[in-house]
Amino acid sequence: DTGVSQDPRHKITKRGQNVTFRCDPISEHNRLYWYRQTLGQGPEFLTYFQNEAQLEKSRLLSDRFSAERPKGSFSTLEIQRTEQGDSAMYLCASSRDRPIANTGELFFGEGSRLTVL
């Protein structure tokens, strides 16, 4: 068990470019979450998957954002036409399904920091 892995760890891009982040969850975890964290704030929920199904999307997730989890394994978060306001840490987390693990404990990756110039 190597934990939740995210790539890249840092991304600097120019406004208007597209960026994609990848998340590899803990292998036996069916649920995968994306959060966004800006400086001095707690993480905010973006979206989550149960296996390959995207079950909920936050209103924070504008049309420029899309997330996928093909085959229920790794997930990608793509941001199109980036804006300076997209600069943030994008965090991925995974957990077991319930009721297999009733606690619902989330395990987070190290995050992908995006800077939009």
Partner 1 sequence: KQEVTQIPAALSVPEGENLVLNCSFTDSAIYNLQWFRQDPGKGLTSLLLIQSSQREQTSGRLNASLDKSSGRSTLYIAASQPGDSATYLCAVEGGSEKLVFGKGMKLTVNP
Q: Which residues contact 106 (CB under 8 A, 6 or more apart)?
A: 33, 93, 94, 95
56 binds partner 1 (CB under 8 A): yes
Give the nearest distance from C-beta 18 to partner 1 in angstroms: 24
Give the integer Cα–Cα distance in Å for 35 and 67. 12
When the beta carbons of 55 and 117 are compared against partner 1, the nearer one is 55
Under DSSP, is residue 86 helix (H, G, I), strand (E, B) or coil? helix
Per-residue interface string for the shown chain with partner 1, residues 57-86, x marking contact by CB under 8 A: ------------------------------
* Distance separating alpha carbons of residues 46 and 60, to the nearest angstrom: 6
Q: Is residue 105 a contact residue for partner 1 (CB under 8 A)? A: yes
Question: Judged by CB under 8 A, does residue 107 bind partner 1?
Answer: yes
Buried b (16+ CB within 10 A) or exposed e, 75-102: bebebeebeeebbbbbbbbbbbeeeeee
Q: Mask 10-49, x = binds partner 1 (CB under 8 A)?
A: -----------------------x-x----xxxxxx--x-
Chain residues that interact with partner 1, rule: CB under 8 A = 4, 6, 33, 35, 40-45, 48, 56, 91, 93, 102-111, 113
